[in-house]
Every structure is written in structure tokens, then in C-alpha cells.
């Protein structure tokens, strides 16, 4: 018996190939999108981990100066304290080389006496034949990167001039060097003996850091008692901020992938439900013949598993292909955010394919369970009339709407009182989407009822037929409309979030970039400080004022914190305060009694306005009182802004890393730029604020390109859902449509009526998507992004975004309706009207 | 005047096949305007096919199907649809009312398709529903009325636009004997009053007894049993 039933199932699908195709397409797309996104994410994460580890090399920790540089005696002290410790002192700076010394290359001073360890730690390798003894013994000798030597036409024994700050020095090439790690993106350095490097950079007796390879115990001991004026930092901590950022970014992508799977489930449900509905009479006959409920259920589930197996396999292949496209986008985004990843290929992880396969099977079984149970419940008395089925569908729509209310309430409670983790926010977000989907069928019925009341006797029979057709086929249209509404709501929600984000970023850039021209130091020297102190900049025609900044990163108990010490120009600090008392905060900032922290810092450290942030300074630990919070869309280390004078007092550091030039109202920006450029030479990078803004927005747009791809995919799944439902309706209503043709509807007239019905279905989905999408956007803007990135932004509700969502739904539905309408208009009247 | 000269419907050497099965094989017949013709025959003999060919719902494979001086085989599907809209009423065994339209809306459907003015539609519909005893269920949906009422609605829909030809395929097949008799009488009367040609496919001997003419289909050919 089972074999016969299975054969009947198989033949059913072979006779309805489009239905088979749609079911397979729905599952495949859902699985494919999920697997594609997961693989891309995983590859990006691996790329990050592999590259970060390779860039770090054997390095586990770094001893960094609290001041400008470390006393070189710190190194001797370390070696004396623990002779087994692997440590390498380093002096590092950037120098100019080549014609006009315009080519910027890092100069690395290492201790060749330490032998291979020094080079291994620095991730460089001298080429064969390089005489390292000469590097130590002979002054002003260097190893040059091979490519650079070739570019400059330099051989062993040749000389070249380096520009270090304002000074120039001639060095002799005694060999070549290459990068030994996998960080191919990093520029190989010029390598010198540490004493030579100290001499060239004017850092006699001082070093920039000590690279360390420590055991856990050594790290604990050194961490608790570092040499004076130094702090121990774990190498992997240096990328923790980036790790958090990419994790959050990837969580967003995963959520979108899951969303595609949910929309795919709608499609599976719709297709399976219809496949069973179509066989209601056959199943009724089988029950009459004595087939048990269990056998019917087993047959349907067997058929579901068969579909799931084929579709999931295709989905895995599709996912792999999708990942190849997505990985580039994700890596580009991550690269834009702050990191040059060295791995660019999809790294297949068997676990993700297994996850995708499990999801495909589970999603298909869940989606098919209700239709299968319905099939098993069919009475031997047999075929249910369509009217009865539709009455049941209307009752189900009411029950679904009642169910939506507690789901909405639970989502609200999770947001208000639940854990503040990201997963809770996503749970609430999915709750809102589910509630929206559950409310959509009843809302569609209500909308069609209202339209019917308005249009009755006015719009003519074809329109009345179209309006009533939507409600009358609720068993089909309900699920399809809900799927389309969810897809469009996602498009709306993500679109509104991106628009809000972009508007906030634009606004923030406008507020932050108060100056017209920015100079940023490329070398850690006094170049910019001396330029500002000379007063030349202020004397240039058109220059109204200067904003000067010193930035440095310090380790704290809350993780690394970027200090931005600022003396504002004529247009203030360029900060948008989102916490604290505006006037009091700026007063405290100006007189050095308080600092203003970025909202990301407060979010990640869980500190509040009024709290003290303890930071290490050369004169000992110091508590900085947080008097306010500012909006900061920077993706690097969380920051605080403090007064430059207060910073200089505590750090005894009068260098500058940035200068903002404020121009007079009618000043010629190009002329000022031309005047400033020769003054700063190669020691600082010059950019206009307009260019910085343009670059930032370009990075933003690239970052969200990947979400657009996923939105399109979700749209395709929803489109297929509508197509499936419409084909089902066309098949179910073949007789009714034939009667209309018999009464004189022309093929075109009938097609137009069906397209009107489809358009109305799209309209209902689009209107339902408006509130769902808006709530989704609110959650993304105010909850998800806050919990992911620690950023807040202003919510921008543009009517265009909502209207375009409705247009999208109507257009998608109309496109999906073309083929079923065409088929219906060409219906074979004789066959359709033949009496049973 | 010979039969061919006064023929309002004419089928000449018509063949119709479904796959390998030949339903009509060189069939020929003529019908005059205003006649009540019963088509008898075994199940599957081709009665419904004959009606669909005359109604222009299907095209013949070979031969000529002429109605009111128009050869239907030369018309496009859209042209055939327009002809049906103006000049044809069809009554089915299983009623085939549009479930999403009320009784009144089902009845007025042909007038609406013919762009008749709303006032005229209201007047015609009201009169016909009253004539057929359906006035009290005008605003109900088909699923809410009995089988006999549904078939009366179908008859009203078939004649409201005063077609010259009404085709009925087993119109009483789903009804009990008493209701069937009532429905048939109604169908005959409404067609006679409107001078419409009525062609009914049926197994019913009672119905055949009331017809002006009885045709039967044997081995794909049409034979006159009584004229």
C-alpha cells in the first residue's frame, strides 16, 4: 500500500512540474541564502583570524610607553628579570625615500644581536647573503626591501637619502629584506640596527616598544609589575574593537539570511498546502478505501522529505555560489571599516553545509506539517467544498490575528525588560515580523471588504470580481500576501534604517568636520606642532583659525581608549552631545576638569556620565571625569575628547597629530590648500573636509551594498511565493474562469481582471508592510544598531521609502501575476467545463 | 424554402478529436431560428462537444460551423468571445455560478459585459428575478441558496441579455425530478418568450418529448430522431 501511495505522490508532482519547481525553488533559495551568507561570514571571520594571527606572528604581547617612548633600559631590565623571556626592542617610524623623498616607507630598528628572534618577531627576513654583522658594526647601514631597491635601482653597496622629519640622512644598502609573515598587504620596512635607527630618528636611549613572546605565567607576572613608564598590552587586544564590530556586522547579515529562510518557509507552506488541497478528493477516496490517517500522514511526510532532499542539495550548491559573490563584498566592507584582510576565497566549512542541510529539512518539515496533518484529517466522506475551505481560511485568519497580539506583547516585554543582549533584540524583531505576517491576512480581508463597499456597483463587475477574488481565495492569497508583506517590510525597514543611518552620518560629518582643511601627521614627530607654533598658518590669507589635536591610544581597565586632546578653532569642538548637560559639559571640557566620552565607549564599558575613567599617564594613573557623551561613528578604538592643555599637563607631550584649518567666509579654499601644501611637505597629509565627507559616505554606501543583495534575494523568494499562489488560484478556479469566458469575457479582459486582483493583493501586502517595516526600522535604528555598534542615530521616516515599498509590492505582485493571467486567459474552455 | 436555405445554425462535415478519440466524425446538421432542439445520446457520444462547437467555446478540427451567417471557424478567440457576450446564453449541469458574486450580480453579469446602462441593468434584473421567483435571494451568494434556485439563477443569467441562442448541457442532471421539471419549463418558457433557439443536451426522455426536434449522435455522426 505504502509503495502505491508513494507512486501516486510522485506522479502527482510529475504531472504538476511547475508546482514541483516552485516548491524546490522556495526551499533552495531559502537554504541557499542562509548558507551563502554563513559561508561568506565564516570566510571573512577566518580571513580576519588568520590574517590577524599572521600579522601578529609569534608576538603575544607588547610593552608600550605611557609617554612618548620607552627608556631603552626597560629592555635590559626585562632581560635581567627573566632571562628566558623572548623580547625584541623596536624603534619604528616612517621615512621619505626616492625622488623628492616623496615615497613613504616604514623604518624598523631591530636588534640583530638577538639573531633570528629579532627578525622573526618583526615578521621580516633578510635575504640570503645579507651580512648582519655589518648592520651592527657599520653606522648608517640598512637592509632595503627588494622591490623598493629594484624600483630605485639600488644595489648592495649603493647609497640613498632618507628624510626623517625635517632632517635628511644618507644610508648605505648592505642587503635586502622581505616580509616573512602572510601580511602581504603591509609594506615591507627598511630595516636598520636599533642603534642606527635611534640615531636617524633622534631617539637616542629610547625605544618605541618591546615585542614579546610570553607564556601565560610570564604575561601575568609582567602585567602586574611592568617596568616604569610602560604598560603591557596583549597583541590580540589590539584588534578587539574591530572584532566586536565585525561580529555585530556579521550578526546583522546572519539575521538577514535567516529572514530569507523564513520567507522561503512561507513559500514551502503555500506550495505544500496547495499540493495537498488539490488532492483532497483523491485523499478522501483513499480514506474511503481504508487507507489509515497514519498512512496518509506518512506518505505526505515522505513526499516532503523527498522534496527537501532535492531542494536542500540544490540550495547548498546555490549557497556556495552565492558565497563566492558575497565574500568579496563582506571582505571589502570589513576592509573599508579598518582592516586589510589577506584571505579572499570562500573557505568551505563542513559545519555550515550541515547546518544549511538541517535547516532545509527542518524548515520544510515545519512548513509542511500543518498541511500534512490537514491531509490526514480528511474524512472518508471526501472532498471538501471550496466554500468550506475558504470559510476555514477566514476563521484561521482571525485566529492568526488573535495570536499576533500576545506575540507583539511578548516582543515589547523582551525589549523593555529582557536581557540587553543582541539576541534578545533579534528575538523581538522576529516577533514583530511574525506578528505582522499573522495580521496580514485579516488586514487584507478588511481592506478588500472596504474596497468592495466603496466600489460596489460603481467600478463594474470585472473590478468587483477582482476585489472579491482576493478574499474569496484567502486560503491561497493569505499566505502569499503575508510572505510578500514580510519581504517588503524587510526592504522598507532596512531601507529606512540605512536612510536614517546615512542621514545621521551626513549630519555627524557636517558637525564634526568644522574646519575646511585637515592636516594629519604621517610621522610621529614635532613637524605639525612646530608649524602651528611658528604662526605661519594663521598668517596665510583666508585663514580664520586653527583647531589642533593630539591623538593617542592608551590601555585602560575598559580596554583601549583613544584620547583626542583638542584645542578648538573658531567653530568649536565639532561634537554632537547625546548625553550630559550641554553647557556644563563644554565648560568642564574647556577648563580641563572633565572629558566627553564617545557613546560607544560608554556603551561598551557600561560607564555613565559622571563616572571616572582611570587612564595611565607618565605621571601615574589619573581619573578623568566623564561630563558628557558625544555621537561618534568612528569604527576604531572608542574615544574620549579632552582639553589639549590638560593632556599636555599630564602626558608632558606637546606633539600634534592633526590640525584643522578654519577659513574665512569668502576664502579661496584651493588657494589656501596650495599655500599650505609646501609648508607641511611630506610630514602631513592634507585633505579638504568635503573630500573626507565624500570618502566617508562612499565607504558607507559600499558597506551596505551587501544588504541590498540580500534584500533582492528576499524579494525573489517572496515573488516566487506570489507566483505559486497565483498559479494555484488559477488552477483551482479554472472552471469559474471558464464560465466567465463562456459568458463573453475576452482573453484580454479576463487577464486584466486577474491582474487587477494581483495588483490588489500587492497593494494589501504593501500597505501591511508599511507599519511592519516602520517598526522594524525603529528596532534596527534604536535597538539593534545600538546593541551592535553602540551607536545611536536619528530616525528618519521618509514618505518616499514607504510609498516605494507599496510600489515594490504592487510591481512584484503584477510581475508574478503576468504568467498566471496569461495562462488563465488561454484556458481550454472545453476541458475546464467538462462535467465530472 | 428548403432546410439549408432557412438554416440559422449549420454544421457541415465537422470533425472533432480529443487525442486519439474522434468524437465527431464528419457530422452535419442544420437548426432553424426559434427551435427547441434536444440532443440525445450515450455518455461520451459527443453531445457536450456539439454544444461547445455551436457556442464557439471550442474550434472544430475540420468542417464548417456557421451560426447566424457567421462561420465560427474563421473567428479569433476574442471575436468568438464578443459573439458569446451578445448572442449566447449557456446553462450548465453544475450551475457554474460565480461564487464571489451575489445572485443579482451573477444575473446582471452579461448586461454589464455588454455595457448596458446601470438603470437598464437594474430594471431588467429586477424584472427577471421576480419572474423566476428569485427576488428574495437577490443579495445572497450562490453557496447560500438551494440547487434548484441556483439553476434558476443560471437560467436568468443565460437569458437576461436576450440572446438568440441558449445552450444547456444537462441542465437538470443535478436536480430532483420535480425541480427538474420546473426548471425545464422555466427554460422553455423564457426562451420561447424571447424567440431564442434552445438546444439542450440531455439523457432525459421527458425533455425529448417536449422538444420540437430530437437529434442523436452515433459513431460521430448526427442523426435526426424526430423533426
Residue A28: per-residue pLDDT: 85
Mutant choice from B59, B87, B89, B96 vs A, greatest count of A C-beta within 10 A: B96
CB-nearest partner of B110 from A744, A747, A835: A744
Chain A positions in Cβ-Cβ contact with residue B55 (cut-off 8 Å):
742
Closest chain B residue by Cα to residue A473 = B100
Closest chain B residue by Cα to residue A836 = B94
CB-nearest partner of B81 from A460, A736, A744: A744
- Cα dihedral sign, A480-A481-A486-A489: positive
Least-confidence region, from A50-59, A197-206, B6-15, B94-103: A50-59
> Are residues B57 and A829, on separate chains, in Cβ contact within 8 Å?
yes
CB-nearest partner of B100 from A385, A468, A835: A468
CB-nearest partner of B99 from A387, A749, A829: A387
Asked whether B149 and B107 are in contact (CB, 8 A), the reply is: no
pLDDT exceeds cutoff 90 at A426: no
**B188 falls within a domain:** yes
DSSP A671: H
> Are residues A830 and B49, on separate chains, in Cβ contact within 8 Å?
yes
Report residue A202's pLDDT band, with 50, 70 and 90 as the boundaries: confident
pLDDT exceeds cutoff 80 at A467: yes
**B133 falls within a domain:** yes
Mutant choice from A388, A729, A744, A836 vs B, greatest count of B C-beta within 10 A: A744
Residue A408: per-residue pLDDT: 92
Closest chain A residue by Cα to residue B173 = A835
Asked whether A29 and A720 are in contact (CB, 8 A), the reply is: yes
Report residue A263's pLDDT band, with 50, 70 and 90 as the boundaries: low
Report residue A480's pLDDT band, with 50, 70 and 90 as the boundaries: confident
Asked whether B24 and B13 are in contact (CB, 8 A), the reply is: no
Encode A672-683: b = buried (16+ Cβ within 10 Å), e = exposed: bbebbeeebbbb
Distance from the Cα of A469 to chain B's closest Cα (Å) equals 7
> Are residues B88 and A386, on separate chains, in Cβ contact within 8 Å?
no
Question: Rounded to whole angstroms, how far apart are CA atoms A429 and A432?
Answer: 5
- Put simply, whether A744 touches B (Cβ < 8 Å) is yes
Better pLDDT: A494 or A335: A494
ipTM of the complex: 0.76
> Are residues B113 and A744, on separate chains, in Cβ contact within 8 Å?
yes
- Put simply, whether A741 touches B (Cβ < 8 Å) is yes
- Put simply, whether A623 touches B (Cβ < 8 Å) is no
> Are residues B48 and A834, on separate chains, in Cβ contact within 8 Å?
yes
> Are residues A461 and B101, on separate chains, in Cβ contact within 8 Å?
yes
> Are residues A461 and B48, on separate chains, in Cβ contact within 8 Å?
no
Closest chain B residue by Cα to residue A745 = B81
Closest chain B residue by Cα to residue A471 = B100
Residue B2: per-residue pLDDT: 42
**B3 falls within a domain:** no
Q: 3-state SS of B92-110? A: CCCCCCCCCCCHHHHHHHH
pLDDT exceeds cutoff 80 at A420: no
Mean pLDDT, residues A154-174 taken together: 85
* Continuous segment of H or E residues that includes residue A705: helix A705-732
**B2 falls within a domain:** no
Chain A positions in Cβ-Cβ contact with residue B85 (cut-off 8 Å):
743-745
Distance from the Cα of A508 to chain B's closest Cα (Å) equals 56
Identify which of A253, A432, A428, A425 has the alpha carbon closest to the alpha carbon of residue A334. A253
Identify which of A559, A740, A549 has the alpha carbon closest to the alpha carbon of residue A643. A549
Report CA dihedral (A366, A368, A374, A376) to the nearest 10 degrees. -100
pLDDT exceeds cutoff 70 at A523: no
User: Which of A319-328, A482-491, B130-139 has the highest average model confidence (pLDDT)?
Assistant: B130-139
Question: pLDDT (tens digit, 0 to 9) for every residue of chain B, 227 residues total?
Answer: 344 446 899 999 999 998 888 999 999 999 999 899 999 988 888 898 999 899 988 889 999 999 998 999 888 888 888 888 888 998 888 888 887 788 998 898 888 888 888 899 999 999 999 988 889 999 898 888 988 899 889 999 999 998 999 999 988 887 788 878 888 888 888 888 888 999 999 888 888 888 999 999 998 999 987 66
Domain extent, residue B85, equals: 9-226
- Residue ranges per domain, chain A? 1-61+241-384, 68-228, 386-513+694-836, 523-682
Report residue A96's pLDDT band, with 50, 70 and 90 as the boundaries: confident
Residue A628: per-residue pLDDT: 93
pTM score of the predicted model: 0.68
Distance from the Cα of B199 to chain A's closest Cα (Å) equals 16
Chain B positions in Cβ-Cβ contact with residue A829 (cut-off 8 Å):
52, 57-58
Better pLDDT: A676 or A264: A676
Whole-number percent of chain A with pLDDT over 70: 82
Identify which of B139, B135, B195 has the alpha carbon closest to the alpha carbon of residue B165. B195
> Are residues B101 and A830, on separate chains, in Cβ contact within 8 Å?
no
> Are residues B112 and A460, on separate chains, in Cβ contact within 8 Å?
yes
Residue B3: per-residue pLDDT: 43
Residue A764: per-residue pLDDT: 92
Chain B positions in Cβ-Cβ contact with residue A474 (cut-off 8 Å):
none
> Are residues A747 and B113, on separate chains, in Cβ contact within 8 Å?
no
- Cα dihedral sign, A55-A59-A61-A66: negative
Whole-number percent of chain A with pLDDT over 90: 10
Task: Count how many pairs of residues, chain A against chain B, have C-beta atoms within 8 Å.
Answer: 86
Question: Rounded to whole angstroms, how far apart are CA atoms A340 and A437?
Answer: 41
Distance from the Cα of A290 to chain B's closest Cα (Å) equals 28
Q: What is the CATH number of the domain that holds B178?
A: 3.40.50.300
In the predicted model, what is the mean pLDDT of chain A? 80
Closest chain A residue by Cα to residue B169 = A835
**pLDDT tens track for A348-399:** 678 888 888 888 888 888 878 877 887 777 655 444 455 666 777 888 899 9
Helix (H, G, I), strand (E, B) or coil at A577: strand
> Are residues B98 and A465, on separate chains, in Cβ contact within 8 Å?
yes
> Are residues B88 and A744, on separate chains, in Cβ contact within 8 Å?
yes
- The domain tally of chain B equals 1
* Continuous segment of H or E residues that includes residue A104: strand A103-110
> Are residues B99 and A740, on separate chains, in Cβ contact within 8 Å?
no
Helix (H, G, I), strand (E, B) or coil at A642: strand
Mutant choice from A470, A739, A749 vs B, greatest count of B C-beta within 10 A: A739
Beta strands A658-663; A230-234: pairing state: unpaired
- Put simply, whether A746 touches B (Cβ < 8 Å) is yes
Chain B positions in Cβ-Cβ contact with residue A739 (cut-off 8 Å):
92, 96-98
Question: Rounded to whole angstroms, how far apart are CA atoms A296 and A280?
Answer: 11
Chain A positions in Cβ-Cβ contact with residue B109 (cut-off 8 Å):
461, 743
User: Which of A320-329, A550-559, A785-794 has the highest average model confidence (pLDDT)?
Assistant: A550-559
Residue B1: per-residue pLDDT: 37
> Are residues A744 and B143, on separate chains, in Cβ contact within 8 Å?
no
Amino acid at each position: 500500500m505504502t509503495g502505491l501511495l508513494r507512486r501516486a505522490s510522485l506522479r502527482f508532482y510529475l504531472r504538476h512540474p511547475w508546482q514541483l519547481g516552485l516548491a524546490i525553488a522556495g526551499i533552495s533559495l531559502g537554504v541557499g541564502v542562509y548558507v551563502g551568507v554563513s559561508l561568506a561570514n565564516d570566510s571573512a571571520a577566518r580571513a580576519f583570524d588568520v590574517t590577524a594571527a599572521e600579522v601578529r606572528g609569534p608576538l603575544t604581547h607588547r610593552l608600550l610607553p605611557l609617554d612618548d617612548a620607552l627608556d631603552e633600559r626597560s629592555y635590559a631590565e626585562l632581560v635581567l628579570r627573566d632571562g628566558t623571556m623572548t623580547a625584541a626592542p623596536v624603534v619604528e617610524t616612517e621615512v621619505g625615500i626616492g625622488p623628492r623623498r616623496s615615497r613613504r616607507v616604514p623604518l624598523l630598528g631591530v636588534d640583530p644581536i638577538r639573531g633570528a628572534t629579532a627578525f622573526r618577531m618583526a615578521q621580516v627576513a633578510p635575504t640570503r647573503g645579507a651580512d648582519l654583522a655589518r648592520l651592527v658594526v657599520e653606522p648608517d647601514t640598512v637592509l632595503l626591501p627588494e622591490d623598493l631597491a629594484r624600483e630605485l635601482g639600488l644595489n648592495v653597496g649603493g647609497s640613498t637619502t632618507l628624510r626623517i622629519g625635517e632632517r635628511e640622512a644618507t644610508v648605505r644598502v648592505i642587503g635586502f629584506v622581505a616580509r616573512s609573515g602572510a601580511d602581504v598587504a603591509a609594506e615591507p620596512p627598511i630595516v636598520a640596527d636599533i642603534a642606527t635607527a635611534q640615531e636617524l630618528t633622534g631617539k637616542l636611549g629610547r625605544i618605541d616598544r618591546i615585542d614579546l613572546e610570553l607564556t601565560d605565567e610570564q604575561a601575568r607576572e609582567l602585567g602586574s609589575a611592568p617596568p616604569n613608564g610602560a604598560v603591557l598590552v596583549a597583541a590580540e587586544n589590539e584588534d578587539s574593537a574591530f572584532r566586536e564590530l565585525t561580529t555585530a556586522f556579521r550578526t546583522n547579515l546572519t539575521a538577514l539570511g535567516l529572514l530569507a529562510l523564513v520567507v522561503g518557509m512561507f513559500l514551502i507552506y503555500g506550495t505544500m498546502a496547495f499540493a495537498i488541497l488539490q488532492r483532497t478528493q483523491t485523499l478522501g477516496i483513499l480514506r474511503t478505501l481504508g487507507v489509515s490517517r497514519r498512512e496518509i500522514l506518512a506518505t505526505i511526510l515522505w513526499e516532503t522529505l523527498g522534496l527537501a532532499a532535492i531542494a536542500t542539495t540544490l540550495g547548498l550548491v546555490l549557497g556556495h555560489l552565492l558565497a563566492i559573490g558575497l565574500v568579496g563584498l563582506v571582505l571589502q566592507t570589513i576592509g573599508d571599516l579598518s582592516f586589510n584582510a589577506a584571505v579572499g576565497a570562500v573557505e568551505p566549512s563542513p559545519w555550515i553545509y550541515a547546518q544549511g542541510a538541517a535547516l532545509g529539512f527542518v524548515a520544510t518539515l515545519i512548513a509542511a506539517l500543518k498541511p500534512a496533518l490537514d491531509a490526514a484529517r480528511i474524512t472518508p466522506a471526501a472532498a471538501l467544498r471550496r466554500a468550506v475551505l475558504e470559510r476555514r481560511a477566514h476563521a484561521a485568519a482571525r485566529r492568526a490575528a488573535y495570536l499576533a497580539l500576545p506575540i507583539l506583547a511578548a516582543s515589547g516585554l523582551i525589549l523593555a525588560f529582557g536581557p540587553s543582549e543582541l539576541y534578545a533584540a533579534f528575538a523581538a524583531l522576529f516577533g514583530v515580523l511574525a506578528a505582522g505576517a499573522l495580521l496580514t491576512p485579516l488586514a487584507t480581508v478588511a481592506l478588500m471588504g472596504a474596497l468592495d463597499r466603496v466600489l460596489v456597483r460603481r467600478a463594474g463587475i470585472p473590478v468587483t470580481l477582482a476585489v472579491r477574488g482576493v478574499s474569496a481565495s484567502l486560503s491561497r492569497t493569505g499566505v502569499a500576501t503575508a510572505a510578500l508583506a514580510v519581504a517588503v517590510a524587510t526592504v522598507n525597514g532596512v531601507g529606512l534604517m540605512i536612510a536614517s543611518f546615512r542621514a545621521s552620518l551626513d549630519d555627524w560629518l557636517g558637525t564634526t568636520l568644522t574646519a575646511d582643511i585637515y592636516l594629519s601627521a604621517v610621522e610621529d614627530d614635532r613637524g605639525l606642532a612646530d608649524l602651528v607654533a611658528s604662526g605661519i598658518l594663521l598668517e596665510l590669507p583666508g585663514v580664520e583659525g586653527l583647531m589642533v589635536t593630539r591623538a593617542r591610544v592608551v590601555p585602560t581597565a575598559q580596554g583601549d581608549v583613544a584620547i583626542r586632546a583638542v584645542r578648538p578653532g573658531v567653530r568649536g569642538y565639532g561634537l554632537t552631545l547625546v548625553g550630559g548637560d550641554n553647557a556644563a559639559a563644554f565648560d568642564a571640557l574647556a577648563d580641563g576638569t572633565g572629558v566627553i566620552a564617545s557613546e560607544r565607549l560608554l556603551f561598551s564599558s557600561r560607564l555613565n556620565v559622571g563616572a571616572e575613567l582611570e587612564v595611565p599617564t607618565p605621571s601615574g594613573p589619573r581619573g578623568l571625569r566623564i561630563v558628557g557623551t558625544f555621537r561618534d561613528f568612528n569604527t576604531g578604538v572608542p574615544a574620549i575628547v579632552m582639553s589639549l592643555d590638560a593632556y599636555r599637563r599630564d602626558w608632558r607631550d606637546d606633539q600634534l597629530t592633526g590640525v584643522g584649518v578654519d577659513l574665512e567666509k569668502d576664502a579661496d579654499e584651493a588657494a589656501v590648500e596650495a599655500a599650505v601644501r609646501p609648508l607641511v611637505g611630506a610630514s602631513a597629509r592634507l585633505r579638504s573636509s568635503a573630500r573626507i565627507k565624500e570618502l566617508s559616505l562612499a565607504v558607507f554606501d559600499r558597506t551596505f551594498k551587501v544588504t541590498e543583495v540580500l534584500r533582492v534575494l528576499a524579494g525573489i523568494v517572496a515573488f516566487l511565493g506570489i507566483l505559486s499562489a497565483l498559479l494555484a488560484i488559477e488552477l483551482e478556479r479554472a472552471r469559474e474562469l471558464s464560465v466567465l469566458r463562456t459568458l463573453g469575457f475576452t482573453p484580454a479582459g479576463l487577464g486584466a481582471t486577474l491582474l487587477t486582483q494581483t495588483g490588489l493583493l500587492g497593494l494589501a501586502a504593501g500597505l501591511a508592510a508599511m507599519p511592519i517595516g516602520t517598526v522594524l526600522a525603529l528596532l534596527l535604528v534604536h535597538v539593534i544598531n545600538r546593541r551592535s555598534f553602540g551607536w545611536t542615530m536619528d530616525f528618519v521616516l521618509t514618505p518616499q521609502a514607504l510609498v516605494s515599498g507599496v510600489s515594490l509590492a504592487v510591481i512584484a505582485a503584477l510581475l508574478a501575476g503576468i504568467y498566471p493571467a496569461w495562462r488563465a486567459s488561454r484556458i481550454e474552455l472545453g476541458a475546464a467545463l467538462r462535467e465530472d | 424554402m428548403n432546410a439549408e436555405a432557412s438554416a440559422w445554425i449549420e454544421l457541415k462535415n465537422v470533425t472533432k478529436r480529443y487525442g486519439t478519440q474522434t468524437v465527431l466524425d464528419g457530422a452535419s446538421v442544420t437548426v432553424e431560428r426559434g427551435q427547441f432542439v434536444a440532443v440525445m445520446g450515450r455518455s461520451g457520444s459527443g453531445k457536450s462537444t456539439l454544444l461547445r462547437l455551436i457556442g464557439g467555446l471550442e474550434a472544430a478540427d475540420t468542417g464548417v460551423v456557421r451560426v447566424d451567417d457567421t462561420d465560427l471557424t474563421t473567428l479569433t478567440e476574442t471575436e468568438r468571445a464578443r459573439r458569446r457576450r451578445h448572442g449566447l446564453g449557456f446553462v450548465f449541469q453544475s450551475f457554474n455560478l460565480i461564487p464571489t458574486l451575489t445572485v443579482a450580480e451573477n444575473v446582471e453579469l452579461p448586461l454589464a459585459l455588454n455595457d448596458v446602462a446601470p438603470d437598464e441593468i437594474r430594471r431588467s434584473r429586477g424584472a427577471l428575478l421576480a419572474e423566476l421567483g428569485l427576488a428574495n435571494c437577490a443579495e445572497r451568494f450562490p453557496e447560500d441558496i438551494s440547487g434548484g434556485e441556483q439553476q434558476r439563477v443560471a437560467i436568468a443569467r443565460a437569458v437576461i441579455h436576450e440572446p438568440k441562442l441558449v445552450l444547456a448541457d444537462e441542465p437538470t442532471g443535478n436536480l430532483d425530478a420535480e425541480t427538474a421539471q420546473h426548471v425545464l419549463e422555466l427554460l422553455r418558457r423564457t426562451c420561447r418568450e424571447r424567440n431564442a433557439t434552445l438546444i439542450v443536451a440531455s439523457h432525459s426522455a421527458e425533455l425529448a418529448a417536449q422538444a420540437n426536434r430530437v437529434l442523436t449522435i452515433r459513431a460521430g455522426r448526427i442523426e435526426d430522431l424526430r423533426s
